Chains A and B, each alone.
Chain A
């Protein structure tokens, strides 16, 4: 090697060294970002511990930072997992619950809890959809042959109430509270799915309770449809004393999709299904009631009620008040919104939801939809939603089915609506007069379902479900056998909308292979969850390091 060659060799060696240095620097940078993202993905801060997001059933994920109106445009399916729960009628999987950081034997995990109607609970790793554990409730109770009284689409049997997750005194440790098919209250450790207490008597078996709620060591729910031959009641389980308070029956049942909404003073609110409105005789059909636990006796006590002035009409046309309300604070007052099949939204003050005469809410919108006055496939179903904007304005959202009413209009309408949409209102107060001002209507969705809100984005979906209950030639026989509706249901589609305009930012296209009944959205930590009748649990979100888009086989195994 002469001096030139050495120099060249030295120069070449120098470039190699710099190249290695640069590569190393880049590698460290990439690894650093990955580590940071991985750190972020294993150290989330948000939970979704109850159906509807919170006990007020706002459906608002307040702690979202990853999803935004910008990032959501690149949202994708991160994983989907097939679960082996056996469907009952049109029911399969219920809306999921999410605990952002659970201490497990395998380290901290973000756990997605999925409930299967046939007495099954599944815990999935939110990172990848892998099954962490599966638990099926054991019982000595035997379901009646043929399903028992009222068995059918309206009374499927099994678990119908989304459980609720309660934090414990130990950070990272959570307890699941679930109402099993046999009517007992079950308590399980979220980390491993083991029951931590014997089954406790709660409700009659084979009924139809709705999503559980937990407030100050008390579980709340209500039942509907008279399933299993049981009256339609409010149930309040006091965990400290193991006493169960009740109130009811009421109307044709209380069947808001996400169960009751609970105010800051512990009053449970729910709409009541078909029945006469006759408060003088203690009968509260087609209205809204407020029930509270007596702090001394633990009994359920009626403390407030509201009956629309056209309650007789609502009963006559089967336009139940069957939507879970949403409760929120605005301008110093605790307000509530609710709705029903008629397709009118009511704004109420929880101080007195119906005013002095129990028939006067703060505001009642005009008809938003259901011009045909149909009891199925039209109207508002499921639950309300609400969120507070950064400028302090308060938004109220409602899904609705069927075409928009020809006389209803909003300043922003994102296209003609035929099958359903989301309608958004702003709560306004002018000279002590309260209104819900129409703001926008979303694009058309095939049976728009209750939305959730996260960081300025509305997530909504069209369930694709065939919601008809009668046919012109065979009448109600169409609804006797779920096979008609199952066969005629279409694929669900998930949408992301700008919360201020309703403009569509993203949709799932044809990625979801089936339809949804009795489902709902859950959102936390950059991910949105939806499950379908064919047993798949879907996770959509922003791809992060460590994510593995995958499809998992039945049983939750890869």
Chain B
């Protein structure tokens, strides 16, 4: 390693070059293009807003040609399962300009505390690392598997990414032929502007600006740091340089060792996670780690859903609780960092929430949708949780653990999707009997809201929460064996599982466009599959990563 003096440099000229190099996107947060945490973003939308190649029309047009959406590569990594946990969905980075070159990376977490960072263009290992954990060895239990139980995350700003208005990358000005008048030089001389004035000397700020890892100064052309984060089974929070996995700083104490954590997310310099099952002696609830002071706070609750809390644009967290005994579930708004309760939605003792919430903007409001165990979806206004805007009829089906998903199409229609096990919710028709993805439209008329059934997919046994990429819904029949009896051991569940299948559906109609057939040779489980930059990743329980997308000649 060469010795050098670390400098943070930010220049207007380099910012301009950034626009040319990276199409105006920074590294640490590429709004709506990268998969940054469970269900992609702080709102848990599972929505990649735009894509150059994945679209309903694009996939249909290429169907049947050598360039069609297809299986690209697979890689089996060295990670053994812990109970029902194995490989998890990756965090992604669409473009790193790194010391080894430009890269599109997927950071795949393994239950044994490993990180597999893969060049997802080439299907080539970029680096891998075994995170050190002081947790006791052993395979844990079904309820408390131990090891790494939640995914790799990249820092996020709390703001809600805008609805896409996708434009092409730069440097698309066509070449033209020209000639100047005699003695006048090239025609480009006519476009010269006066030199910009020298910037006035600026006084140093009274308070030095707080470095925000979610958005390093200068974006990708700044000095970073460019980090990923992970939570190991001993409850330690790790921060690593994403280009090579080197430790950025010593791991920080966060959760009790052995805790069963879910929904890890880093928002504006604070890490949050939900704990479940009382594992490792950790009280169930929401935990927050201030990355600057290393102070840890917690808010006790039986958290519903496995995607973790959802955030509005101000950084406020919204947590769904399952309730217990005679106490029904709630939606609780917590202040960032302090986890102070701000407001609640308490529908009644008969309601048990069963999914993580999803947050989205709609017609100037910030709304929240969440599923309950009686098959309902509740629609709320985050500015006033006291009363719901709409609640769907109850039904016999259960929501898959995880979040609902949400996206807005080019016609301005807001969709809320969920993966349901068993019978379809009321208002939906279709052949599904073992599970499906269903989609509602959010409608508002004279201030009155409703969730109108849109479409139900084909039958999808044991579905995962859906992922949406540029109007295409990627649904997964996970193949997981999900017995009604919760104490069925892992070995039995694995033995009775079947192979997963990935489907691509028209996000506005549910029509099937493509499926992966028999490519995937294992079951999968967890939250919504990760995707972006024209690719989708399915992680098999057997430790194999499957990547689907459009081929590109290398």
Contact = CB atoms under 8 A, between A and B. Distances in A.
B553 A148 contact: no
A285 B175 CA distance: 10
Given A301-B177, A475-B224, A275 B186 contact: no
Contacts of A100: none
A53 interface: no
Interface in B355-391: none
B101 A475 contact: no
11 contacts: A147-B13, A150-B16, A154-B17, A245-B179, A246-B188, A282-B176, A283-B175, A299-B179, A318-B97, A375-B102, A472-B241
Contacts of A183: 185, 189
A538 interface: no
Nearest to A223: B188
Interface string B209-231: 00000000010111111100000
Contacts of A477: 7-9, 218, 221-224
A45 B104 CA distance: 55
Interface in B170-186: 170-186
B181 A243 contact: yes
A283 B169 CA distance: 12
A470 B99 contact: yes
B553 A283 contact: no
Contacts of B175: 247-250, 282-284, 289, 302
B99 to A, nearest CB: 4
A89 B392 CA distance: 66
Given A247-B177, A313-B554, A318-B97, A283 B172 contact: yes
A480 B193 contact: no
B171 A251 contact: yes
Interface string A228-266: 011101010000011111111111100000000000000
A1 interface: no
Given A152-B11, A248-B176, A318-B21, 4 more contacts: A183-B185, A246-B180, A301-B177, A316-B102
A69 to B, nearest CB: 39
A470 B98 contact: yes
B132 interface: no
A106 interface: no
A244 B179 contact: yes
A390 interface: no
B552 A312 contact: yes
A274 B97 CA distance: 14
B169 A204 contact: no
B554 A476 contact: no
Interface in A25-52: none
B6 A474 contact: yes
Given A231-B173, A281-B172, A202 B186 contact: yes
A373 B121 CA distance: 11
B234 to A, nearest CB: 26
A63 interface: no
A299 B183 contact: no
B446 to A, nearest CB: 46
A409 B169 CA distance: 38
The 3 closest A-B pairs by CB, nearest first: A282-B174, A201-B185, A477-B223
B290 to A, nearest CB: 23
B2 A201 contact: no
Contacts of B188: 203-204, 230-231, 233, 246
Contacts of A297: 179
Contacts of B104: 316
Interface of A: 142-152, 154-155, 183-184, 200-205, 226, 229-231, 233, 235, 241-252, 274-276, 278, 281-285, 289, 294, 297-302, 309-310, 312-313, 316-318, 372-376, 378, 468, 470-478, 480-481, 484, 487-488
A248 to B, nearest CB: 5
B321 interface: no
Nearest to B172: A283
Contacts of B182: 241-243
B119 to A, nearest CB: 8
Contacts of B171: 249, 251-252, 274-276, 283, 285
A307 to B, nearest CB: 12
A241 B180 CA distance: 11
A276 B173 CA distance: 10
A276 B8 contact: no
A95 B9 CA distance: 32
Given A372-B101, A480-B11, A475 B122 contact: no
A294 B191 CA distance: 23
Given A226-B20, A246-B178, A313 B553 contact: yes
Contacts of B221: 475-477, 480
Contacts of A283: 171-175
B19 to A, nearest CB: 10
B226 A475 contact: yes
Interface string B230-243: 00000000000101
A422 to B, nearest CB: 23
A475 B178 CA distance: 40
Contacts of B448: none
B4 interface: yes
B192 interface: yes
B9 A481 contact: yes
A149 B16 contact: yes
B173 A488 contact: no
Given A246-B186, A475-B98, A480 B14 contact: yes
B498 interface: no
Contacts of B176: 247-248, 282
The listed residue with most B CB atoms (<10 A of its CB), out of A205, A300, A476, is A476
Given A283-B172, A316-B121, A488-B2, A146 B198 contact: yes
Given A149-B13, A251-B171, A300 B181 contact: no
B98 A246 contact: no
Contacts of A282: 174-176
A200 B122 contact: no
Nearest to B192: A204
B167 interface: no
Nearest to B224: A475
Contacts of A145: 195, 197-198
Given A231-B173, A298-B179, A472-B244, A372 B20 contact: no
Contact of A300 (B21, B177, B222): B177
A201 B189 contact: yes
B226 A201 contact: no
Contacts of A302: 175, 177
A245 B179 CA distance: 4
A76 to B, nearest CB: 34
B196 interface: yes
Contact of A152 (B14, B102, B553): B14
B174 A471 contact: no
A183 B191 CA distance: 14
A453 B205 CA distance: 59
A374 B241 contact: no
A248 B176 CA distance: 5
A435 to B, nearest CB: 21
B134 interface: no
B246 interface: yes
A143 to B, nearest CB: 8
B554 to A, nearest CB: 5
B92 to A, nearest CB: 15
Nearest to A282: B174
B243 A472 contact: yes
B14 A247 contact: no
Given A151-B13, A470-B99, A242 B178 contact: no
B67 to A, nearest CB: 11
A318 B553 contact: no
A552 B353 CA distance: 85
B22 to A, nearest CB: 10
B220 A475 contact: yes
B192 A374 contact: no
Interface in B131-181: 168-181
B44 to A, nearest CB: 29
